[in-house]
Chains A and B, each alone.
Chain A
Amino acid sequence: MPIVFAGAASHAPGMTAWTEAAPKEQADNFLGNYRKLGAMLAAAHPDVIVAFSVEHWANFFLNQMPSFCIGRAEYYEGPIEEWLRIPKARVPGDAKLGVELIDACLDVGFDPSFSDELLLDHATFLPLHFLNPDMAIPVVPVILNTLTPPMPTTKRCFALGKFLGSVLEQNARRVAIIATGGLSHWPGEAKHGKINIPFDKKFLDTLVNGDRTKLTEYSHEEINVEAGSGGHEIRTWIALAGAVQNWKAELLAYEPVVPWATGCGLVAFSK
Chain B
Amino acid sequence: MSLYQLQKLLYHVNRDLSQRERYRQDPAAFVKNYDLSDDETKAALAVDVRALYALGVHSLLLRPFTLLHKVSNEDYAKALKGLE
> Which residues of A are at the interface with B, using a C-beta cutoff of 8 A?
56-58, 61-63, 80, 83, 147-148, 186-193, 229
Q: Count residues of chain B with CB under 8 A from any CB of chain A.
A: 22
B44-84 interface code vs A (CB 8 A; 1 in, 0 out)? 00000000010000111111100100000000110011111
B8 close to A (CB within 8 Å): yes
B7: chain A residues at CB < 8 Å are 61-62
A83: chain B residues at CB < 8 Å are 67
A192: chain B residues at CB < 8 Å are 59, 76-77, 80
Quick check: A148 and B8 within 8 Å, CB to CB?
A: no
Quick check: A190 and B53 within 8 Å, CB to CB?
A: yes
A62-B7, A190-B83 known; 7 new pairs, CB 8 Å cut-off, are A57-B64, A61-B11, A147-B60, A190-B80, A190-B81, A191-B84, A192-B77
Query: In angstroms, how far is the closest chain B Cβ from the Cβ of A144?
Result: 15
Instruction: Give bound CA distance, A119 to B8, whole Å.
Output: 18
Query: In angstroms, how far is the closest chain B Cβ from the Cβ of A184?
Result: 15
Instruction: Give bound CA distance, A193 to B78, whole Å.
Output: 13
Known: A58-B15, A61-B8, A62-B4. A187 touches B53 (CB 8 A): no
A80: chain B residues at CB < 8 Å are 15
Quick check: B59 and A229 within 8 Å, CB to CB?
A: yes
Quick check: A57 and B14 within 8 Å, CB to CB?
A: yes
Instruction: Give bound CA distance, A58 to B61, whole Å.
Output: 10
Quick check: A187 and B58 within 8 Å, CB to CB?
A: no
Quick check: B59 and A148 within 8 Å, CB to CB?
A: no
Query: In angstroms, how far is the closest chain B Cβ from the Cβ of A194?
Result: 8
Query: In angstroms, how far is the closest chain B Cβ from the Cβ of A68?
Result: 19
Q: Name B80's closest neighbour in chain A (CB-CB).
A: A190
B77: chain A residues at CB < 8 Å are 192-193
Quick check: A148 and B58 within 8 Å, CB to CB?
A: yes
Quick check: A57 and B15 within 8 Å, CB to CB?
A: yes
- Give the most central of B15, B53, B83: most A CB within 10 Å: B15
- Give the most central of B58, B77, B83: most A CB within 10 Å: B58
**Which of chain B's residues 6-39 have a Cβ closer than 8 Å to chain A?**
7-8, 11, 14-15
Quick check: A188 and B84 within 8 Å, CB to CB?
A: no
Quick check: B14 and A187 within 8 Å, CB to CB?
A: no
Quick check: B84 and A187 within 8 Å, CB to CB?
A: no
Contact of B60 among A62, A187, A190, A193 (CB under 8 A): A187
Q: Name B77's closest neighbour in chain A (CB-CB).
A: A192
A188: chain B residues at CB < 8 Å are 59-60, 62-63, 76
Known: A62-B4, A148-B58, A192-B77. A187 touches B11 (CB 8 A): no
A148: chain B residues at CB < 8 Å are 58
Query: In angstroms, how far is the closest chain A Cβ from the Cβ of B43?
Result: 16
Query: In angstroms, how far is the closest chain B Cβ from the Cβ of A26?
Result: 19
Query: In angstroms, how far is the closest chain A Cβ from the Cβ of B54?
Result: 10
- Give the most central of A57, A83, A190, A229: most B CB within 10 Å: A190
A-B CB contact pairs (8 Å), 12 listed: A57-B15, A61-B7, A61-B8, A61-B11, A62-B7, A62-B8, A147-B60, A187-B63, A188-B59, A190-B83, A192-B59, A229-B59
